[in-house]
Amino acid sequence: MKKYIVVGLIMSLLMLNLAGCSSPKTETPKATPEKITLMLDWFPNTNHSGFYVAQDQGYYAAEGLDVSIVQPAEGGNPQLIAANKADFAVSYQEEVTTARSQDIPVVAVAAVIQHNTSGFASPVNKNIKTPKDFEGKTYGGWGSPSEEAVLKVLMAKYGADFNKLKMVNIGSADFFASVEKGIDFSWIFQGWTGIEAQTKGMALNFINLKDEDKVFDYYTPVIITSEAKIAQNPELVKKFMRATAKGYNYAIKNPEQTAAILVKSVPELNKDLVAASQVYLSKQYQADSSRWGEMKPEVWKNYADFMFANKLIDKNISTDRAFTNEFLPE
């Protein structure tokens, strides 16, 4: 019996020794996330919520991406994208069309919001209900040539005299401060400034551009990248857009949670404004489209033709090269 016990002990010791000499398990090292930069068009707001959701919920990380969301820099976003100062940026259809007409090779890869939610707003006591009422009023704008072109078209449609409108460049001045200092109306986005007016208890008259003429139902904002990025690294564009689409689809279904994520990411934002704006935009991101981000050829062509006809661009563009739906997930 003792003999069997000794043999067993010897065998156990041999097995332990062999196990100690065997090669240790090697774990496959995790790939280093690819660092990319996304440049916003303005301070962070609910137009950008999908990006912050994708970052917060790990959608970018799951695609192997480390995304830095940065504020806009000096110079237009299309120019910065073309110069490889950022991988992706937020822009708008008019800016992309202008860039393409100047042979700046940028491409829109998604519409953040399906329809134009901007228009001309004024306090109700200004009594501006249609573009006919612009006569004798003072408009506060940011100094873009397109403002004059759009105002002329709208006023002509209503038989109003554009020469009776006073235009003042207020730049990025606050809408609410401006209307207290002699400005009668301005061009705003309903999803932010319009909602802010509601939270302040200020009643506004709002002339929705997309309802006045289908040519003004263009995409604003859009996500852009460069032709070079698409040609050299299409897989990166696919990964970024796959994660970003998940972020916006989450925002569509979960406005309350999305507002909390945005405020957590950008705590200086007004929590009540973000919450109300998020509810509004949750219905606007995709709207009546079959999927978030989809862009239609006729929308690009209609506004490019308008810009060319009104001498906002020196030459018209091939709109099929200005945008693509290729990188949107099905």
Residues 307 and 267 reside in one and the same domain = yes
Q: In this structure, what are the phi and psi dihedrals at residue 29, rounded to the nearest 5 degrees?
A: -65, 140
Residues 239 and 111 reside in one and the same domain = yes
Residues 246 and 291 reside in one and the same domain = yes
Cα 211 from Cα 161, distance rounded (Å): 21
- How high is the pLDDT of residue 230? 98
Residues 208 and 223 reside in one and the same domain = no
Residues 179 and 89 reside in one and the same domain = no
The torsion region of residue 292 among left (phi > 0), alpha (psi -120 to 50) and beta comes to beta
Whether residue 73 contacts residue 104, with contact meaning beta carbons closer than 8 Å, is answered with no
CATH code (residue 143): 3.40.190.10
192 in any annotated domain: yes
**To which residue do tokens 């696919």 refer?**
238
45 in any annotated domain: yes
Residues 93 and 160 reside in one and the same domain = no
8 in any annotated domain: no
Residues 66 and 157 reside in one and the same domain = no
Give the tokens for residue 84: 């490889």
The DSSP letter of residue 222 is: E
**b/e code 39-56 from CB counts within 10 Å (16+ = b):** bbbeebbbbbbbbbbbbb
Residue type, 23: S
Three-state secondary structure string covering 111-152: ECCCCCCEEEEEEHHHCCCCHHHHCCCEEEECCCHHHHHHHH
Residues 93 and 132 reside in one and the same domain = no
Q: Which of 194, 216, 238 is the last residue of a domain?
A: 216
296 in any annotated domain: yes
Domain count along the chain: 2
- How high is the pLDDT of residue 7? 40
The residues pairing with 228 across neighbouring beta strands, listed in sequence order, are: none
Residues 174 and 152 reside in one and the same domain = yes
Chain centre to alpha carbon of residue 66: 18
Q: Which of 216, 238, 273 is the last residue of a domain?
A: 216
Q: Helix or strand or coil: residue 267?
A: coil
Cα 328 from Cα 210, distance rounded (Å): 25
Q: What is the pLDDT along the chain (330 residues), one digit of tens a residue?
A: 433 333 443 344 444 443 444 444 445 556 799 999 999 999 999 999 999 999 999 999 999 999 999 999 888 999 999 999 999 999 999 999 999 999 999 999 999 999 999 999 999 999 999 999 999 999 999 988 899 999 999 999 999 999 999 999 998 899 999 999 999 999 999 999 999 999 999 999 999 999 999 999 999 999 999 999 999 999 999 999 999 999 999 999 999 999 999 999 999 999 999 999 999 999 999 999 999 999 999 999 999 999 999 999 999 999 999 999 999 998
Residues 83 and 126 reside in one and the same domain = no
**b/e code 84-119 from CB counts within 10 Å (16+ = b):** eebbbbbbbbbbbbbbbbeebbbbbbbbbbbbbbbb
Q: Which of 167, 191, 216 is the last residue of a domain?
A: 216
Q: Which domain holds residue 147?
A: 118-216
Residues 207 and 86 reside in one and the same domain = no
Cα 73 from Cα 39, distance rounded (Å): 8
**To which residue do tokens 């000499």 refer?**
21
**To which residue do tokens 């033709």 refer?**
305
Residues 196 and 256 reside in one and the same domain = no
